[in-house]
Structure 1
Amino acid sequence: MPLNVKPILISGGGLASLLLAQSLLLSKIPFVIFERDASLTFRGQGYRLRLSSEGLDAIESVLDEASFQKFYDTCGKTAGSGFAALNANTGEVIGQNPGGESLGSREGKIVGIARGDMRRLFLEGCEQYIQFDKHVKGYEKTSDGVLAIFADGSKSVEGSMLIGGEGIRSQVAKQLSGGKLKVFDTGARGIHGQAPTTAFKGLGEGVFRLVDNTQPHGQISIMTNVRAGDMNDPDVQFGWTMVGQPGVIEAPNDDYTIVGRKAADIAKGLTAHWHPRFKPLFEDMVENEAAFWKITCSTPSGVPDWDNDKRVTVIGDAAHSMTPAGGIGANTAVQDSALLGRLLREAGGYKDGVTAEYEKGMRVYGSEAVKKSYGLASGQMKVKIDEATTPTV
């Protein structure tokens, strides 16, 4: 990479940040990533991601041919019965492609990948440019650059730009937008779990939503992706994501950082009366992988406007957090990386006008994605955001 050129500073080591880093690496534009955790595997990686046509196209536009082929080969491809909704209590099929969703993205198949695998592949080649235990809490402008400010009060090297990609609690997003970028707590809650592939054999191949409307406080449902190619591999686990309408899933002492046995026991209790076909997903679950999560969403009316800063912008969940409904969030995040990376490549690095052009494009598809995600969640999870009264995270 060129010497004596101020690097682009990237806050956060999530998917959008790492894919942007890949783009900058290929463009020979200097960068450094600041990640608050001690490593990329410090925390659980969460549920499996479904990649849409738009998401795959964005990733392919960034990576070189060999890297994208390696990435695509790592992805699972699911065919089988497609996307089916099942009654969790009776085991009966209650709908094919519920909500009219078509999940296929390439070759007529549903393409998915574990979040941890995606981060690992996007990190390849960028290892020397990431600094761990660096929690960005804000930034400071200089006469011709920008400094990241860390939680301990220290500051980064001077960069030509700062890209905030540190998720829903992004301090860069709050400072940049003057508080206009908000993430609302919908009140809906979830539990992520995993089990050996053998626990899923009763489902067969496909993507399934198991729906239970008999809970006393509202509906819960499970989403899972069962891939035939991994079905008999004893070293592979499949994941499932449980989502409950507001008031259905409650963590002890309202502590949603709890992982492991306590989260697993709540999932088992909620599904104790489910059809025997589905029982192994919970009875055989790997308890230490269970984790709660809050379901959040950005402003449903779309990505707000803020005064553009030519040296600072935001990507991924920092710009547009979404509910899990529709599996849209990660696919929108990688579109940010592809768009911003392309503009920086064409400009040869920092250039006045790049962030304005990026934000103009991002607001269009980002706002559309947030509205779609919130609309689906309103129907499935009965969430309602009032921008004046709903609490933020």
Structure 2
Amino acid sequence: MESTAARKPILICGAGLASLLLAQLLLQAKIPFLVFERDAGMSFRAQGYRLRLSRECLDALEANLTPTRWQKFWDTCGKTAGAGFAALDAITGEDVTEARKYEGAAAPRRDDEAKGGKMDLSSRDGKIVGIARGEMREQFMTGCEDFIRWSHHVAGYELTDSGVRAVFADGSKSDKGEMLVGGEGIYSKVAKQVSNGKIVTYDTGARGIHGKVSTSAFKELGEGVWRVTDERKKDGKVFLITNVRANDMDDPTVEFGWTIGAQPGVIHPPNEDYAIIGKPAADIAKSLTKDWHPKLKPLFDNMNEAEAAFWKITCSTPTGVPDWPNQPRVTVIGDAAHSMTPAGGIGANTAVRDAALLGRLLVEAGGYEEGITEKYEREMRVYASEAVRSSYAGAKMQFGVNIDENSPRVHV
């Protein structure tokens, strides 16, 4: 095997969750890598919502992070009691959990629950485990800082006789790497190039806003995972999901996040820029919720406006991750491979599984070797395609979206 010192780096595009986890796993194994990120730094954009971590995601992290790194990650996560959603009417504030027990659940799940089963959101030990997206990025980034190149917008790649280079938007190129991984999200130029356009992301028309506010705003809700629904909008529903953890409720310096989702046609932003952040995004949220029940109003009246973020709800081809001819030195992970709606909180968990799988294959081989991307893509397509289908089915019910070949696409 070629010595580590002599090996060229693995080139990673984007500094999102999947890319940074892959970088962390390579760092642990002393495999050289470089990360290229278009933003100027970690704090350049709002960090978004709180993520509910699945059993599969937690298992993948525990199996691949060092014991010390895993323990630090686990200790950072919040643990919320309760196995599922509690539902509230946005206008009356009434508990409508039983009436909306099956809202957003596919028919087989509804049938299972009717037979005595229960939709279970718990991750471990009867708790719903979650972490803020920004905190998760910071955890994975720790130790990798010297290998991140900010303000580097990857526009594609160039194969060489024995490697690959990243090509940047300004026309410059990286030094040669042994392999390149596209993890730069739904606007990935790498994904478009390596799949020859087969990876397609659709704009569902649904929109969302993330926000943060001090724990004091959640006092009247109490612990649990809450889904609040407003069905009065003439163009469609608006709903909010938030995770309230009891152990932080008495510390006003801690902020909890919430996510608003709206069906197509409800939110009319000043523009369709995916990067609307701060007060403009906060104003949209306040307008949507101005008539909500008084116990919910503090979530918006007292929000940290700087942390608000507007977003388009997108989805890959609902049938799953497409096939494309394998390129041995180039592959894609996370949203670059499979964008998902927020229904079920599946997207980030699947991205983590991608990074853990590809990282494990690279670590076991001591770095790049021919066949790794093919093995990764073959296994990834199975679980990621199932995840995309599940995410889309949930979004059809929750968001009222419908994708076909004539639906608008996200332009890369």
Do the two structures share a fold, i.e. TM-score over 0.5? yes
Name 1:19's counterpart in structure 2.
Answer: 21
**Secondary structure of 1:344's aligned partner:** helix
Deviation track 1:281-330 (CA, whole Å, cap 9, x = no partner) reads: 11111222222110001110100000101000000100111011100011
Contact 2:11 2:33 in 1 (8 A): yes
Map 1:268-287 to 2 at 5 A. Answer: 268-287=286-305
Point out the more displaced range, 24-33 or 95-104: 95-104
**RMSD of aligned C-alpha atoms?**
1.4
- How far residue 255 of structure 1 moved from its aligned partner, in angstroms, is 4.4
Is it true that 1:341 corresponds to 2:343 in the alignment? no
TM-score, normalised to structure 1's length?
0.97
- How far residue 276 of structure 1 moved from its aligned partner, in angstroms, is 1.4
Map 1:50-199 to 2 at 5 A. Answer: 50-80=52-82, 82-95=84-97, 98=102, 99=105, 101-199=119-217
Residue among 206, 212, 223 paired with 2:224: 206
Residue among 35, 38, 41 paired with 1:36: 38
**Secondary structure of 2:353's aligned partner:** helix
Structure 2: distance between partners of 1:156 and 1:330: 28
- How far residue 262 of structure 1 moved from its aligned partner, in angstroms, is 2.6
Residue among 295, 299, 307 paired with 1:289: 307
Name 2:384's counterpart in structure 1.
Answer: 366
TM-score, normalised to structure 2's length?
0.93
Structure 2: distance between partners of 1:251 and 1:77: 34
Map 1:306-325 to 2 at 5 A. Answer: 306-325=324-343
- The amino acid that maps onto 2:353 is Q
**Secondary structure of 1:85's aligned partner:** strand
**Secondary structure of 1:309's aligned partner:** coil
Deviation track 1:156-192 (CA, whole Å, cap 9, x = no partner) reads: 1101100111111000000000000011000001111
- The amino acid that maps onto 2:266 is V
Map 1:352-363 to 2 at 5 A. Answer: 352-363=370-381
- How far residue 258 of structure 1 moved from its aligned partner, in angstroms, is 2.8
Deviation track 1:261-285 (CA, whole Å, cap 9, x = no partner) reads: 2322222222122111111111111
Cα gap change, 1:262 to 1:345, in 2 (>3 Å): closer
Structure 1: distance between partners of 2:54 and 2:265: 31
Name 1:231's counterpart in structure 2.
Answer: 249
Contact 1:163 1:312 in 2 (8 A): yes
- How far residue 197 of structure 1 moved from its aligned partner, in angstroms, is 0.7
Structure 1: distance between partners of 2:168 and 2:273: 26
Cα gap change, 1:361 to 1:256, in 2 (>3 Å): closer
Gap regions ≥5 residues in structure 2: 106-117
Structure 1: distance between partners of 2:308 and 2:360: 38
Contact 2:202 2:407 in 1 (8 A): no
Gap regions ≥5 residues in structure 1: none
- The amino acid that maps onto 2:235 is H
**Secondary structure of 2:4's aligned partner:** coil
Structure 1: distance between partners of 2:390 and 2:372: 27
Point out the more displaced range, 69-78 or 264-273: 264-273
Map 1:233-248 to 2 at 5 A. Answer: 233-248=251-266
**Secondary structure of 2:57's aligned partner:** helix
Contact 1:183 1:299 in 2 (8 A): yes
Contact 1:182 1:299 in 2 (8 A): yes
- The amino acid that maps onto 1:217 is D
Structure 1: distance between partners of 2:39 and 2:297: 35
Cα gap change, 1:22 to 1:258, in 2 (>3 Å): closer
Name 2:399's counterpart in structure 1.
Answer: 381
Is it true that 1:328 corresponds to 2:355 in the alignment? no
Contact 1:81 1:205 in 2 (8 A): no
Number of aligned residues: 393
- How far residue 81 of structure 1 moved from its aligned partner, in angstroms, is 7.5
Cα gap change, 1:30 to 1:254, in 2 (>3 Å): closer
Contact 1:8 1:30 in 2 (8 A): yes
Deviation track 1:99-141 (CA, whole Å, cap 9, x = no partner) reads: 3631100110000001111111101111111111111100000
- The amino acid that maps onto 2:240 is I
- The amino acid that maps onto 1:83 is F
**Secondary structure of 1:112's aligned partner:** strand
